[in-house]
Structure 1
Amino acid sequence: MAPGSTRVETPPGPGRLRSPPPFCLPSGDVGGGLEVTAAPARPPPGTRRARSSPGRDKEIVVLMTLQDNDINAAVAEHHKKIKEAFEVFDHELNNTVDVREIGTIIRSLGCCPSEGELHDLIAEVEEEEPTGYIRFEKFLPVMTKVLVEKRYRPIPEDTLLRAFEVLDTTKRGFLTKEELIKYMTEEGEPFSQEEMEEMLSAAIDPETNSIHYKDYIAMMVIDEN
């Protein structure tokens, strides 16, 4: 209440409680205006304060536990797949692989990074002083994060098919090895020599020296279940 103010209160009437809030009327020049002191808000009659339900709390805890278990199971499955893919190229059985094999390992796990993205990934897992080899303990957390975040997902099957059909101008259902090399190394983001050799070894039918792209696409499709 302002200094020098006179408190005026409304007297209680019959059956009434003393009326909150009091009004403070300033006497003299104390800045003018009317000072109002608000009373604490009261809940309406019959209102009950919300209480935590033990049953509901238990249900929330169970749901959170199940969610954590699902996440842990997914991470464990990723670790298993990464380890299996890494071990295929760990020829010395010492938890290291040649850095040149990293692209193949990553693609075998269903990821399709561009050449630039692959270089960035390799930079993350290389030693400060590159040795030409990648250690499993450095590769595992980086690759786990990639899989959990679902980065570098492969192009959908229907998109791949349309792309091959555009290249197959005569609608034969296949491309020759020479045509494939030309398109993959001269158009768009060109394949490196290593990428081209890897693709040819998987895609080209040695008997016809061509790629039947529908069969190749079916082989490339990743089962994410």
Structure 2
Amino acid sequence: MTNQFPKIESAGLNAWLIRLFAEISDTNIAPIMSLAQKCKCVFNTALIDLTPSYTTLLVEFDVLQITPNQAHLKLQTILTELSLTESAPPTSSMTGPIKELPVWYDTRVGPDLMHVAYEKSISCEQLIELHSNTIYTVFALGFAPGFAFMGSLAAHLEVPRKTTPRQQVYPGSVAIAGRQTAAYPTYSPGGWNIIGRTPITLFDRNRKHMSYFQIGDRVQMVPIDQHYFLNLGGNPTPQKDR
């Protein structure tokens, strides 16, 4: 971090945005989550919601319990007391169990699999190995409910978003763009490069935790075949190009 960070920015009448870092990094998540935990303790019932992201933490509060100025002062105190370089617990306590995501890597459900492999001068098998051998961190949830932005992708697999997004992407579609990977939780337009599909339901309003992924989760893709994919309830309908 440079000397200008962290800084507190207005985000409306009942929210402050704490900007902690200038750039996205795998090491950001621990200080951000540590800060979020501290805010929960300090704001108590006055806290409405916390939204961690790649470099920021959005703090929403109840103006009936605390004024914006009082909230700002609390955040200043927290940041003064909390050294971001020392606030994160040791790595062993920050890392929970790895959440495995089964993925059927196949051109029928991953129409960009072969194209990305060709662009990177590797085989589809090598692409699958590179993608599934990385343990990803969920940096943020957004775009659609349950859509988890995960990183960081192996540098050799870095590819830009598609110039023209698909009009409809099937739920469970596993895709890559830039240095990130994700799985689409519902039917939606999408401009990422689709390389496979998971049978896991990624968003369910009837679950206690509606989103299958939470910020800070560690995730590893597990290649599966079509038979196992179908046994887990996966939808094998081929993904249309547009």
TM-score normalised per structure 2: 0.27
Choose 1 or 2 for highest CA Rg. Answer: 1
**Structure whose residues are more often strand by fraction:** 2
TM-score normalised per structure 1: 0.29
**Structure whose residues are more often helix by fraction:** 1
